[in-house]
Amino acid sequence: MDLTGEKLITLLIGVEFLIAIPLVLYADYVKLPELEKYFEDNEIVQLNKTRWPSKLPMHRAFRMGQISNFLSLSKRYIRLGDVTEEEVASVPLSLKRWATWPYYFLYQMFMCMGLHYVLYKL
């Protein structure tokens, strides 16, 4: 590959970083309390709230990550019995998007970083 391709991938990683981090922080600080209201009877969500109770960004990310997994992989978690269909169905679509989309940007950013490493560092 040429230098132009490397610059393009590096630019994409930077742009995705600038988009993903504010979105994740907004979702963790603004949307997480609203999401946790829909899972008040869920044993795992309540356990996570006691395990990571503080308002540190890392603790909020752990709690949001669990709820994000419940919503993005709902069939799997329903089958395991970790969440019920009613809990997942009660969350509005706009709130589901705020719980999942910022993390998709992060996943895409890490995939671009891996692609950059494979193409230019190996």
> What is the total count of domains within the chain?
1
Q: How does pLDDT run across 88-120, given as a tens digit for each residue?
A: 999 999 999 999 999 888 888 888 889 888 988
What pTM was estimated for this model as a whole?
0.82
Report how far apart, in Å, the C-alpha atoms of 44 and of each of 4, 18, 82, 95 are: 47, 32, 7, 19
Give the per-residue pLDDT at 4: 82
**Domain of 85?**
3-120
